[in-house]
Amino acid sequence: MNPFYKNLALWLVITLMMVMLYNLFNQQQLSQNDLSYSEFLAMVEADRVSEVTIQGQEIRVTDLNRSHFKIYAPQDPALIQRLKDKGVTINAKPPAESPWYMSVLVSWFPMIVLIGVWIFFMRQMQSGGGKAMSFGKSRARLLSDQQEKVTFEDVAGIDEAKEELGEIVDFLRDPKKYTRLGGRIPKGVLLMGPPGTGKTLLARAIAGEAGVPFFSISGSDFVAMFVGVGASRVRDLFVQGKKNAPCIIFIDEIDAVGRHRGAGLGGGHDEREQTLNQLLVEMDGFESNEGVILISATNRPDVLDPALLRPGRFDRQVVVSLPDIRGREKILRVHMKRTPIAVDVNAIVLAKGTPGFSGADLENLVNEAALLAAKRDKERLDMMDFEDAKDKVYMGLERKSKVIREEDRITTAYHEGGHALVARFIPDTDAVNKITIIPRGRAAGVTWFLPEERDFRYKDQLEAELAIAFGGRVAEEIVFDRISTGASNDIKKATDLAQQMVRSWGMSETLGPLSFAKNEEQVFLGREIAQHRDYSEETARKIDMEVNDLVTRSYDRAKSVLTEYIDVLHKLAEQLLEKETILGAELDELIRQARPGIELPETPAEREETMEEADPSTPSDAETKTAADASADQSNDTPGNPPEDSDDTGSINSPG
């Protein structure tokens, strides 16, 4: 019901109640006592009555003492003459009648109530949006002009996707420009990419730029407990779209209704499949939907039904990937516009230290930095706030209250030092950025790396990563002649990496360039229930042997490095116990002091910087490839006792 009519009805009821109360209580309330008729006649005969008021058969009596009485008189023709004889003042009034509005109210009120109830239920049945009898109606929300508009200027770091969708906006603004050459406006655009990359933000930007009606709905809004409701909502959604054409319909998380059919979990009458079938028909069926453009977003394009992805339904599939270093810089600058920034804040340095961050992660980074600055009573956000916020986002807060045994601190120092030294002495590894034994989150210590953003990963680099992963475990074994549970996550990551090298990437000389990866799809994703293996038991044993050999060689490689540089390891551990945190440049200085004249392997970033200096014709882009203060990858787990809830105490993989 319209709020205006609700308020009108409320005030009408209040007014009627006030009139009734006034009618009941505003009459002259006389201090009356009831008399019998015989007593009244006796008072008249005794000359005790001074005045009477006759109204129908009701008589109000006033005696000589100004007391008031009320009686009900029968039909007595002699009464008037008797009162005249005694000199009583006689007042006559017509019989009392109820007000007209009270008569109308009493006679028509039940009918009015019944009509009002009937109108209420009819309006509820015909309206949409979560009301009675409207579960078959679409729950799409129409973006109004009063809401805060998002434009393409608010979207950064995904220029290719912006260009693709900018064409859609151009279609809607000037369709004749394209249709004059025989082209047609795309019917659907599918935005796909990892979570937090800005798919929904792009859709909002399209709504702000296009200037046409924009309907927004989630894929889960089609799901209901009643059979056929999802298909009904799809029909109603496109009916609304046709009425407002040209318009844009945005379905977020379309994988909720667009999953692959044929899983065998409900048959052809499965509610989800009915909804998908109706969506397929509405997008490209016998009836045309001219002027209605469907934009959908998902981070699971692999589970969508092939019929949904064909041209004519989703003509364009736009990949919204994680931003690179330049994209991260642009995203950071967009979010930094909303906060007061100190002069020492360098968005480029922050972008270098956040590889694998999505747009949502970067927005969260700026927000955490703002909260930290406010907590510290600062007027502006400085670089320290961003660095602390980055560490917090990666690993969590520092556990300052945690009581750490000295033995565990020493073990942690050697563990982290083992990771760092193996990484520094093996060629073609990522640069060590920071080593710390300050407990954060679930880890007692962290070794941060600065990974290079590569399109390819090579076998020698992967083997180096395996050796780095075992650096902490080997250091504990060499120094203490005992091992702890702190390397649990390192071992898990190394095993998974070795499995991928052998099974998926064909990096085994014995097995050759073959893939033995298992089909890991789940039944509910719409894949086959039965799993089968394409290789024999003998091949499975060879795979296990290759994985074991790969891991063993990497372990021995790390052991040989740390055995050779055991003196450097001791000094690094002493420094960590003293300072708790050592940066990458300080690590190089410590190594050169312990081994004068040593030549350290160049990191990929240093090599690229050297090449650019040697070629002055090439524009220097070293700023986008190196970082001194930015942390990146966590390469450690927690030495000592793992947390009670899990053995997963760290990660050696690069973010993203």
Residue 423 CB neighbour total at 10 angstroms: 27
Q: CB–CB of 242/292 below 8 Å?
A: yes
Q: What is the full DSSP assignment across 566-631?
A: HHHHHHHHHHHHHHSEEEHHHHHHHHHHHSTT--PPPPHHHHHHHHHHH-TTSPP-GGGT--SS--
The answer to whether 483 and 464 have CB atoms below 8 angstroms apart is: no
Name, in order, each residue with C-beta under 8 angstroms of 180's C-beta and a sequence gap of 6 or more. none
Closest C-alpha to 417, from 575, 579, 551 = 575
HEC states along 540-554?
Answer: HHHHHHHHHHHHHHH
Which residues are part of the catalytic machinery? 416
Using CA atoms, how far apart are residues 606 and 626, in angstroms rounded to an integer? 8
Secondary structure class of 150 (helix, strand, coil) = coil
Pairing assessment for the beta strands 89-93 and 49-55 based on DSSP bridges: parallel
| Residue positions counted in the chain | 656
The one-letter amino acid code at 8 reads L
Nearest C-alpha neighbor of 519 from the set 510, 507, 527? 527
Instruction: Answer whether 467's CB lies under 8 Å from 558's CB.
Output: yes
Partners of 442 in the β-ladder: none
Question: What whole-number distance in Å separates Cα of residue 434 and Cα of residue 345?
Answer: 19
DSSP string, 472-528: HHHHHHHHHS---GGGHHHHHHHHHHHHHHHHTS---TTT-S---------GGGT--
Question: Largest alpha-carbon pair distance within the chain?
Answer: 145
Query: Among positive and negative, which fits the CA dihedral 147, 148, 150, 156?
Result: negative
Cβ neighbours of residue 139 closer than 8 Å, sequence gap 6 or more: 128, 129, 130, 217, 221, 233
Distances (CA, A) of 541 to 463, 499, 546, 573: 21, 13, 9, 41
Tell me how far apart the alpha carbons of residues 102 and 265 are, in angstroms, rounded to a whole number.
65
Please, which residues have CB within 8 angstroms of residue 58's CB and are 6 or more apart in sequence? 70, 71, 72, 73, 96
